[in-house]
Amino acid sequence: MNPTTAPPTATPTGEDHQVQLRVNGTPHTIRVPAHTALLDALRDSCGLTGSKQCCAVGECGACTVSVDGRTVNSCLVLAVEVDGSDVITAEGLAPSGELNHVQQAFLDHGAVQCGFCIPGMVVSAQAIIERNPDPDIEDIRNGLSGNLCRCAGYNRMFAAVLDAAERTRRQCGTGAGGCSGAAAPAVAAAEAAEQPAHGDLDDDLDKHPSSASRTAAAEGGPVRS
């Protein structure tokens, strides 16, 4: 290997690496071993325990955070890989302590129960609205496909995201629906649905073995609350 291609800050294997992150708008300079996951760095070095570890294999989405505007499973990303990045966690959605539209809508629609999946869920939901201020159910289904929940039921979450998008448009006047409340009928339809959006859980797992494996991984992983 040409020595000139080596990163100037590279250190021998086994030594701690300095990592600089801007987390929720606050600069953090930490030192961690090369194998440290971003999730562990956020929790142990930055003191931000909102992001949860439930599966540790990137299946459940409880650890979802935003890195430079892109949602990632922080249990799969090394802290050294995102040196110099802007990171937003669930705590960063409400820096003043007042819930943002997504968080408030999740509460209003009863989409919050045990709380383990919700930090990652709201980060993913926020990303959906930032990509498309006027999402439909399919947009939301796709956007939350990497986040598992076994408590609240997905219809409530879909309704919450639709409502949060409407509130955001009403506040900022952007998106195809403008401030006219165009999402309201879709919210009502989602709440009135007779069956959960993913069907009965047992039937769904029978039809989709991959879903069963994700659930099993989430149930058996080392949980960090």
Nearest to 139 by CA among 150, 148, 130: 130
Q: Which residue has the tokens 């953090």?
A: 28
Task: Provide the token pair at 14.
Answer: 């086994």
Q: Are 122 and 102 in contact (CB under 8 A)?
A: yes
Q: What is the pLDDT of residues 24-56, one digit of tens each?
A: 999 999 999 999 999 999 999 999 999 999 999
User: pTM for the full model?
Assistant: 0.73
111 neighbors 152 (Cβ within 8 angstroms): yes
- SS3 state at 25: coil
CATH superfamily, region 101-206: [2Fe-2S]-binding domain (1.10.150.120)
pLDDT computed for residue 162 by the predictor: 98
With 0-12 / 13-18 / 19 or more C-beta atoms within 10 angstroms meaning exposed / middle / buried, residue 212 is middle
**pLDDT 10s digits, 50-97:** 999 999 999 999 999 999 999 999 999 999 999 999 999 999 999 888
Look at residues 38, 39, 71, 63 and name the one whose alpha carbon lies nearest to residue 117: 63
The residue ranges of every structural domain in the chain are 12-93, 101-206
Q: What angle do CA 98, 70, 62 make, to 5 degrees?
A: 65
Residues of the chain above pLDDT 90, percent: 64
Residue 186 CA neighbour count, 13 Å, CB half? 21
According to CATH, the topology of domain 12-93 is Ubiquitin-like (UB roll) (3.10.20)
